[in-house]
Chain A
Amino acid sequence: MPKSEITLSRTHRTALVGCLVGLCAVAVAPFFLDTYFTNVLIRTLLLAAVVMTVDILWGYTGILTFGQSAFFGIGAYACGLVFTHYGFGPGWALGGLALALGSAAIVAAGTGWLAFFHGSSPIYASIITLALPIVLTQVIYSGGSYTGSSSGLSGFPTYFWSLEVWFWIAGSFLVSTTTAGWLLVRSDFGRVLVAIRENEDRSAYLGIPVSRIKTMLMVFAAMVASVAGFAYAAFSNVVAPELAGFQLGTELLIWTALGGRATLLGPVFAAIGIDTMSSWLSGAMPFIWKLLTGIAFVGVIVALPRGLAPLISGLWNRLRPQRHAIPFEANIVKASATRMLQGSFGDAPPLRIEGLSRRYGSLEVLSGVNLVGKGTELLGVIGPNGAGKTTLMRCISDGKERTTGTLYINNVEIASSSPQQVVGLGVGRSFQNTNLFETLTVSECLKLARYRIDGTSLFSRSDTIALPQPSLDILQATGLDKKLSEQTQNLSHGMKRGLELAMVLATEPSVLLLDEPTAGLTRPERMAIGSVLTKLTREFGLCIVLIEHDLDFVRAISDRVVVLHQGAILMEGTVEEVVASDLVKAVYAGHKEEEVA
């Protein structure tokens, strides 16, 4: 991926050059095209802008949307309805455009609310976007003479400018929105989108408001599509329910897939090429043409999942002399970790659990767990497999997990908060299975972890990452500070675990949940992590809850140990007390329950 190696100024320079070249092409094109093609291309250029938004939603963020046509239709109908029923003139046109933008934004926000929430499946979200144009078409049908029902509206007053003017409008709209989109996906925010696509759950547990980002993205994409629809209606002087229909919505997807998802320019050119060709060929052989695009679509999905763009760019790279890529150097600076210290202030313990239970149907995995985690304390949770240790972690980090019980983080009741809200309260969680973003680099991962605190830039890349001291310590201890531009999939297992811990610490938690942080690590790596953890409790006042099977490791670093057995706390005490206890020995040796209780 050469993108990550482009420096800030070069990205902006490329965008500027691309934008100017695009505008020049748009300016001269009408003089070389006949009337028929100009006519066809105006529609195509507007649709290409919509396809560009589909690529950002689907290609980059992973939201498979069938419903982007609905917003195109909303824009078109805003134009048709205002000009037909209310009035015509510059004021009315601007009012209509505002109506288009406003209603598209509201509908998109509503759709986002329905489709995106913590725990919603991507398939469910896709079905909602499929339902949207279908419902909208029904609404249009039911509008009677107001919406023109199935025949739509036509013959309303509009600006009968020359074809060239409309071509310039459509073309410059496409070029400017695509430039903005291009900068967006190459910015730090664009990396957040990719992170959501690659590992939505992990993003949420880093405190990134996944659902809100998706909904906002949907709103902006909808607004772009509605402007395109508005312009199309004003140009063609016809609006029909098909403009909002899901047939068009799926065609947008097909063009995106054929052009190459997550390449932005690929889908735009595919849209221009295929739509122009189809209006040319569909006159001659209507069904065959649709059949051929259908077959091509299935073939590309099965055999070339990345579409045609990578083939072309591959060819281009082979023909062109290789330029020396400037590696993207990230600067790591120290952030003041004031938030981390909050746990050691005041009398309230950072973590308080009262009467926590979790049931799956009739199976009770946790029952009546009471636990207090103090600041500066390293609490080891041990217990045989299936004792409910990981479930306990899950209940602390996601407010919707537990069945009953009350949980306080820094004296705030977590109620039914989503994981990203719990992160906001000061909980950091690392997972049992190393759980990272494969195609992102180490520095990009660290930047993601700082999203909640430092925010992100929408249209540019920043080269500084501010990290709290403990994060820096981990990076140094594991040697990651020398591998900042390496993709995480190329790291060793130990480095991945180190990076994950550094990321969790970068969110500046005051309660740190670690699920077997040393599993599969070498002895020196284990020691390094152990000393960082001890330092975290002593110097930064963190409350660490640690699940671990390695009793020696627990003994070396824990202040207090809790033994979980069959979902309840069996025993609590110092490491020595617990290890010496017959009860615990019995549990681990697998004696009968009756003898134990």
Chain B
Amino acid sequence: MGSVTFDILTTAGILFVVASGLMIILGVMKLLNFAHGAFLTAGGYAAYLTGAAGISPWFSVPLAGIVGVAFGLVVERTIIRPLYSRPLDAILATWGLGIVISQIFALTFGRGVQFAPSPLSGTIEVLGIEYSAYRLAVSVIAVLLAIALIGLLSLTRFGLNARAVIVNEDLARGLGIDSTRVRAITFGLGSGLACAAGALITPLLSVDPNMGLPWLVNSFMLVLISGVSFPSLLLASLILGGTQVLISTFISPILGGMTIVVLAAMILRLNPKGFSRA
């Protein structure tokens, strides 16, 4: 029973980390980034390369983040910016970008599965239960990340500008906020977060050119159901991720794999606002 509780908490943490980059982009730019899965994959390969180069695995996450930010800024300038007024086309373009990225990885690294070293191996004993040390570390990072993101949005100048753009972009622009700059930084930040998340989860799994895909749809659902609020995202990750763990453990792992999608779709049908005002 105890390990299931830990499973729920750590799964929620992983889901939060994976979806946060998507959420910040959706919130500020009203853009659902379909290349998010490919960004996660890129982070996974960054972790793999860090390991292969003999650098300490602790550096893989920040390195992936830096690469992600740089890449995100380039993508925003070339592909996203021309499509601001066509949101559904932007979805398609990011989706195409995702295909291109995963094909490039397939050409470079092959279709096979690669592994990245974990910075923390083995288990530790918490409250009398032996549990994977790295999973627990990821959950702690998730909580720290949540605090940092909430802090970024509510305490900094960028956060204030970003919130202004979220609420009313035209008015924000009228007040002299450079919304193009806010969008560019947001996209960079979002893709940086996605790459870092990919690097963070890779030691738990493995990396292949399509690694990000299974996470993509779950992240979409979590983000849609949370509106634009990190506390809601944390709550949604906990509830939906928790249900997923319970169904996988006690009923069937295959049903568990569908839980988040089906549950979120039903919740959104009955209450289109989801958890955003709960």
Contacts and interface: CB of A to CB of B under 8 A. Distances in A.
A131 B261 contact: yes
Given A117-B269, A127-B221, A130-B217, A287 B258 contact: no
Interface stretch (B9-17, B103-111, B188-196, B242-250): B103-111
Nearest to A134: B217
B79 A302 contact: yes
Nearest to B209: A287
A127 to B, nearest CB: 5
Tell me which of A64, A114, A291 has the highest count of chain B C-beta atoms within 10 A of its own C-beta. Answer: A291
Interface in B70-123: 79, 82-83, 86-89, 91-93, 95-97, 99-100, 103-104, 106-107
Interface of B: 32, 79, 82-83, 86-89, 91-93, 95-97, 99-100, 103-104, 106-107, 217, 220-221, 224, 252, 254-255, 257-258, 261-262, 265-266, 268-269, 272, 277
Nearest to A400: B272
A101 B87 CA distance: 33
Given A131-B217, A290-B103, A142 B262 contact: no
B220 A127 contact: yes
Given A117-B269, A123-B91, 19 more contacts: A119-B272, A120-B272, A122-B87, A123-B32, A123-B224, A124-B272, A130-B217, A131-B265, A134-B258, A142-B255, A250-B95, A287-B103, A290-B103, A294-B99, A294-B103, A297-B96, A297-B99, A301-B83, A302-B93
Interface string A137-149: 0100110000000
Contacts of B100: 291, 294-295, 298
B82 A302 contact: yes
22 contacts: A64-B88, A117-B269, A119-B272, A120-B272, A123-B87, A127-B221, A128-B265, A130-B217, A135-B258, A141-B254, A142-B254, A142-B255, A250-B99, A257-B92, A291-B100, A291-B103, A291-B107, A294-B100, A295-B100, A298-B96, A298-B100, A301-B89
A298 B93 contact: yes
Contacts of A253: 92
A417 interface: no
Interface in A247-265: 250, 253-254, 257
Nearest to A298: B96
A290 B99 contact: yes
Tell me which of B79, B103, B255 has the highest count of chain A C-beta atoms within 10 A of its own C-beta. Answer: B103
A301 B257 CA distance: 32
Contacts of B99: 250, 290, 293-294, 297
A122 B83 contact: no
Contacts of A114: 265-266, 269
Tell me which of A295, A301, A361 has the highest count of chain B C-beta atoms within 10 A of its own C-beta. Answer: A301
B100 to A, nearest CB: 4
A211 to B, nearest CB: 12
A571 interface: no
A128 B268 CA distance: 10
Given A131-B217, A287-B107, A64 B91 contact: yes
B119 to A, nearest CB: 32
B250 to A, nearest CB: 16
A247 to B, nearest CB: 9
Tell me which of B82, B93, B96 has the highest count of chain A C-beta atoms within 10 A of its own C-beta. Answer: B96
A288 interface: yes
A478 interface: no
Minimum-distance CB pairs A-B, first 5 = A294-B99, A298-B96, A291-B103, A294-B100, A297-B96
A113 B266 CA distance: 10
A305 interface: yes
A64 B94 CA distance: 14
A291 B96 CA distance: 10
A126 interface: yes
A135 B88 contact: no
Nearest to B253: A142
Contacts of B272: 117, 119-121, 124
A130 B262 contact: no
A430 B246 CA distance: 51
A297 B221 CA distance: 25
A128 B221 CA distance: 9
A431 to B, nearest CB: 19
Contacts of A62: 88
Contact of A126 (B91, B254, B255): B91
Contact of B258 (A138, A254, A291): A138
Contacts of A134: 217, 258, 261
B257 to A, nearest CB: 6
A288 B93 contact: no
A254 B99 CA distance: 11
Contacts of B261: 131, 134-135
Given A127-B221, A298-B93, A298-B97, A291 B104 contact: yes
B118 to A, nearest CB: 29
B106 A287 contact: yes
Contacts of A297: 92, 96, 99
A130 B171 CA distance: 34
A267 to B, nearest CB: 14
Contacts of A293: 99
A385 to B, nearest CB: 16
Given A141-B254, A287-B106, A305 B269 contact: no
Interface in A39-67: 62, 64
